[in-house]
Amino acid sequence: MTVIIDHTRQLTLTHVMSAANGSRVELARDTRQMLTERREQIVRHVREQEIPAYGFNRGFGHNVDLSVPDEHLCDLQRNLILSHAVGVGEPMDRTVVRMTMLLRANSLARGFSGVRPELVQGLLDLLNAGITPVVPELGSVGASGDLAPLSHIAMALMGEGEVFFGQERMPAKAALEKTNLRPLRFEMKEGLALNNGVQFMNALGLAACAKLKDLLRTAAVNSALVAQVMLAPDTYFRPDFHALRPHAGARRVADWIWRLMKNSPIRAAHRDFKTDGQVQDPYNIRCAAQVLGTCHDLIATAEKALLTEANSATDNPILLPDAHGKFTDIVSGGHFHGMPVAVQIYNLMQALSIMANLAHMRSVRFVDPVRNKGLGRDLKWPDMAGEDQALSSGMMMLEYASASLTNDIWGQCMPSHLFNISTNSGQEDHVSMGTGLAVRLLKTLPRTAHVLAIELAYIRQAIAVRKRLGTIPTEATPPDWVNEELNTLKDRMNGHGNGMVFNAEVSREHPLSDHEKQFSPASEALLAALDEHGLFPVVRTDRYLADDVARLASFVESGRVPDVVSPLVPLPWEDME
């Protein structure tokens, strides 16, 4: 698809991710004309009125009181970018940088920044040529804007700094020459317009939103699988039940799980209460829709807020129309402040932490023979000989890995946006500190995918064990004659040993046919896909598992789980009416 930057339209998450992944981006003709007209208006106004204007002819930050002569106005903009490009750390992922470039171009194209269309087009030219500035991941306090990251991007427009082009890292000037692009010379206000705003933080948040949507759908698929293999009912997810407490996210997630469990033979096999006899399951199943639904609400709210930011004018000063409709009213303010974005970044961090915790608690249950409904100790293979049982750890240690990852995720959740450090000699005395939080968010996503993958590995093994077994536990009451015979036997056997007491009990199990061991169609489709890709083969004897889990985690992180089940059970994101 081609993404169009148009001041009369709104970018969506689909547009942003499409451009980030290489789609062509174009500037609408009417937007180009509008930018030209408004640039001419403000330049004429500043020069004719000879007014002091921040960003145009005054210094920056606490140097606002210093006047700049006309002959040095371009130097002012160039020096701003060069001096502010002080990023630290490893280069940020190219996809995020491309998103940042698109978002900055879209913000400038709103028409309230007073820049030439050539500036917007310059960013789009870099995107379309596949030139991605090298942007260190740290160095922004999230107000006044992501100054350092955006300055690294602006440097590439000037032919300064380094960029990625193809598979190489090279000087920006060389990449521009290879693609027949010319460096830009920034004019009044244009350097400031490029680095005022939190598009870097916002890009990180939107990238996380896209990933978290897939991870939440994966968590819902896992929930449906866990409910089936742990012999739980589907009634926890009934639509009429959730209509009584109609939180949008809970209703949506319950709807996903409800439909994913439809037509499940193993669910039908214990639908009669007398078969299973358990009234309620642990919260990790029974409350899955309420817990994951909250994550849905957090992600949906964040996406809405971050897209509002993506389609806003965020630099300083902003140009508003005067009494004659000319965009010459120069208004200083704080639209660059990152707090509206930072709080949403933290909400996304909360969502992934909640998802990871729920998945981990279910993994814990799988290895507990007292609580896993007949699946045995550590999900060891049922055919394993008795002497081999003592030699085997089965799936024991994956729970430890899950615990470690979950704890690490919690450690990344420090609310940095609540810990302000004043900057710029007190002029910028409250900053959002949201960008560092956003960087941690992006880095934590793979860990969350790994926790979900460990849970899926447990699910896969548990399903294989369940299908291998011929029965499921039951709480059905045995006939009276059985208890009578047992009591008679115990009376006859006791009293014939040195302090030894004979005891006996009936193992109550309900037989399942091969058909009744099948899971829902969507579940079986996922199991078949895992088999097809050779992902986490059934563990029959102890083996090295780390690489198997890593491959499964890559499958999960790439969004493949919902991709597999969606043709059978669509998982729409939007709130239910």
**Amino acid, single-letter form, for residue 28:** A
Q: What is the pLDDT of residue 120?
A: 98
- Name the nearest CA neighbour of 249 among 222, 207, 204, 219: 219
> What one-character DSSP code corresponds to residue 58?
B
| Three-state secondary-structure class, residue 522 | helix
Catalytic residue among 84, 251, 360, 466: 84
> What one-character DSSP code corresponds to residue 316?
S
Catalytic residue among 303, 428, 455, 557: 428
Q: What is the pLDDT of residue 277?
A: 62
**Sign of torsion over alpha carbons 83, 84, 89, 94:** negative
Please give the Cα distance from 108 to 101 (Å, whole number): 11
Tokens representing 112 are 């309230």
Residue 560's φ and ψ, nearest 5 degrees, are -75, -30
Q: What is the pLDDT of residue 576?
A: 64
C-alpha distances (whole Å) from 194 to each of 127, 185, 430 are 15, 13, 21
Give 40: exposed, middle or buried? Use CB within 10 Å, 0-12, 13-18, 19+: middle
Please give the Cα distance from 487 to 503 (Å, whole number): 9
Catalytic residue among 283, 475, 484, 492: 283
Tokens representing 104 are 């900055």
Please give the Cα distance from 372 to 370 (Å, whole number): 6
* Contact call for residues 409 and 352 (beta carbons, < 8 A): yes
| Three-state secondary-structure class, residue 384 | coil
Q: What is the pLDDT of residue 312?
A: 97
Name all domains of the chain by residue range, CATH numbers in brackets: 3-197 (1.10.275.10), 206-422+429-470+515-565 (1.20.200.10), 473-511 (no CATH)
Please give the Cα distance from 352 to 482 (Å, whole number): 51
Tokens representing 559 are 């969004």
Catalytic residue among 196, 284, 316, 372: 196
Report CA 503 to chain centroid distance, whole Å: 55
236 catalytic residue (yes or no): no
C-alpha distances (whole Å) from 423 to each of 144, 256, 429, 525 are 10, 47, 6, 55
Q: Name 50's Cβ contacts closer than 8 Å, sequence gap at least 6.
A: none
Omega of the bond leading into 317 within 30 degrees of 0 (cis): yes
Q: What is the pLDDT of residue 56?
A: 83
Q: Name 255's Cβ contacts closer than 8 Å, sequence gap at least 6.
A: 237, 239, 242, 576
38 catalytic residue (yes or no): no
Q: What is the pLDDT of residue 500?
A: 67
Q: What is the pLDDT of residue 348?
A: 98
* Contact call for residues 577 and 474 (beta carbons, < 8 A): no
519 catalytic residue (yes or no): no
Asked whether the whole model's pTM tops 0.75, one would answer yes
Q: What is the pLDDT of residue 284?
A: 97
428 catalytic residue (yes or no): yes
Q: 173: part of which helix (H) or strand (E)?
A: helix 172-178
Q: How many helices (H) and strands (E) does the chain have?
A: 23, 11
Catalytic residue among 58, 286, 540, 551: 286
286 catalytic residue (yes or no): yes
SS3 content of the chain, % helix, strand, coil (to 5): 55, 5, 35
Catalytic residue among 336, 366, 458, 536: 336
- pLDDT digits (tens), the chain, 577 positions: 999 999 999 999 999 999 999 999 999 999 999 999 999 999 999 888 777 777 788 777 667 677 878 788 888 899 999 999 999 999 999 999 999 999 999 999 999 999 999 999 999 999 999 999 999 999 999 988 899 999 999 999 999 999 999 999 999 999 999 999 999 999 999 999 999 999 999 999 999 999 999 999 999 999 999 999 999 999 999 999 999 999 999 999 999 999 999 999 999 999 876 676 677 899 999 999 999 999 999 999 999 999 999 999 998 899 999 999 999 999 989 999 999 999 999 999 999 999 999 999 999 999 999 999 999 999 999 998 888 888 999 999 999 999 999 999 999 999 999 899 888 888 788 999 999 999 999 999 999 999 999 999 999 999 999 999 989 888 777 777 877 777 887 777 776 656 667 776 777 788 899 999 999 999 999 999 999 999 999 999 999 999 999 999 999 999 999 999 999 999 999 876 5
Residue 171's φ and ψ, nearest 5 degrees, are -60, 140
Catalytic residue among 26, 40, 54, 424: 54
400 catalytic residue (yes or no): no
What CA dihedral angle connects 142, 147, 150 and 151, to 10 degrees? -160
Q: What is the pLDDT of residue 496?
A: 63
Report CA 376 to chain centroid distance, whole Å: 34
- Name the nearest CA neighbour of 341 among 100, 164, 577, 169: 100
